[in-house]
Amino acid sequence: MANANTELLKWINECLARGLAADALKDTAVQAGWHPGIVDEAMAEALGASDAAAETAIPRAPDAPVTGIPGPDLSECANWVDADGRRIYISAVVKLPRIVVFQNFLEAYECDELIELAKPRLQRSLTIDNATGGEQLHKARTSDGMFFRRGEFPLCERIERRIAAAVRWPVENGEGLQVLHYHHGAQYEPHYDYFDPAQPGTAKIIQRGGQRVGTVVMYLATPARGGGTSFPDIGLEVAPIKGSAVFFAYDKPHPDSKTLHGGSPVTQGEKYVATKWLREREFA
């Protein structure tokens, strides 16, 4: 029970830090099966601690979240960004949700090399099971995938530095690159990339690195037809052109972020992407 309490307290603290209302959190925890008395206890402890923190103005802890959310600085120029020695041109920007489409994010040879490095390790993609914090096979996601460790190859390291510079978010806060292969007919149905705070498994998942706050999807191969990345809330479909990339950020783990998105079915040819998810804190 001591562990369970610690886990609950950690989840409550994470949610409070993200600005979620205490009342709503209590309801969610009870619906998720926590005993109301235990929730009350944990809530009182969390709120007491946050009041005390505010009163004594304790300096920012070294592992506290980087403030703000990732995103390129487009205040002076929205045509391009310079990232780690590369000028990357921008073909579209959306304000809400924050979406930026990059043209020449990767060179063709970088796309090809990443695919070759990934191929021997591709397996049917799993989705995170929010109920348990584990992973599961899901019919909504019919791609094959694999993860590189961060910095596993010099190419991964270079792409990670480029992403960090382009969207101004520390390399250390990134998950390892994921490569996905969509064969004919494969798709990824619309979903959110953040972890749903209402799900009991989320507390465990976000112990490592905190919430996801942004996504970069890089297109490594152009399918002959289909395979765009769709944003149904705003009626946007980003074309999957080799070497280009789409970035989007979510300032709260909530549908209000309007970041529902999916990988449309590939109707001819095949599609490869590399995905980078960005966390609030160091993903160690």
Q: Given the rule CB under 6 A, which residues bind ligand PD2? A: 180, 188, 193, 215, 217, 229, 261-263, 273, 275
Question: Would residue 185 be called left, alpha or beta, if left means φ above 0 and alpha means ψ between -120 and 50 degrees?
Answer: left
Closer to ligand PD2 by Cβ: residue 12 or 278 = 278
Q: Which does 259 bind (CB under 5 to 8 A by kind): Zn ion, ligand PD2, none?
A: none
Contacts of 67 (CB under 8 A, 6+ apart): none
Contacts of 229 (CB under 8 A, 6+ apart): 217, 237, 238, 240, 246, 261, 262, 263, 264
H or E element: which one contains 36?
A: helix 36-56
Q: How far is the CB of 188 from ligand PD2 (least distance, A)?
A: 5
Q: How far is the CB of 28 from ligand PD2 (least distance, A)?
A: 24
Closer to ligand PD2 by Cβ: residue 18 or 261 = 261
- How many other C-beta atoms lie within 10 A of the C-beta of residue 188? 25
Q: How far is the CB of 51 from ligand PD2 (least distance, A)?
A: 37
Q: How far is the CB of 57 from ligand PD2 (least distance, A)?
A: 38
Q: Which does 263 bind (CB under 5 to 8 A by kind): Zn ion, ligand PD2, none?
A: ligand PD2
Closer to Zn ion by Cβ: residue 175 or 193 = 193
Q: Which does 111 bind (CB under 5 to 8 A by kind): Zn ion, ligand PD2, none?
A: none
The 163-182 site mask, x for binding Zn ion (CB under 5 A), equals --------------------
Closer to ligand PD2 by Cβ: residue 43 or 217 = 217
Q: How far is the CB of 120 from Zn ion (least distance, A)?
A: 24
Q: Which does 128 bind (CB under 5 to 8 A by kind): Zn ion, ligand PD2, none?
A: none
Residue closest to ligand PD2 when measured from CB atoms? 263
Closer to ligand PD2 by Cβ: residue 50 or 91 = 91
Closest CA to 179 of 100, 125, 105: 125
Q: Which of 193, 206, 230, 249 binds Zn ion (CB under 5 A)?
A: 193
Please state, in angstroms and rounded to a whole number, the distance separating the CA atoms of residues 220 and 227: 12
Closer to ligand PD2 by Cβ: residue 28 or 259 = 259
Strands of the chain, DSSP E: 80-83, 86-94, 99-102, 123-124, 126-129, 134-137, 144-147, 178-182, 188-191, 212-221, 225-226, 229-231, 236-238, 245-249, 261-263, 266-268, 271-279
Q: How far is the CB of 163 from Zn ion (least distance, A)?
A: 16
Whether 147 contacts 178, CB under 8 Å: yes
Whether 119 contacts 185, CB under 8 Å: no
Name residue, tokens 């099971």: 129
Task: Kindly state the number of chain residues that form the binding site for Zn ion, as judged by CB under 5 A.
Answer: 1
Q: Which tokens is 250 given?
A: 């979510």
Q: Which does 28 bind (CB under 5 to 8 A by kind): Zn ion, ligand PD2, none?
A: none
Closer to Zn ion by Cβ: residue 144 or 193 = 193
Q: How far is CA 116 from the centre of its chain?
A: 24
Judged by the rule CB under 5 A, the positions of this chain that interact with Zn ion are 193
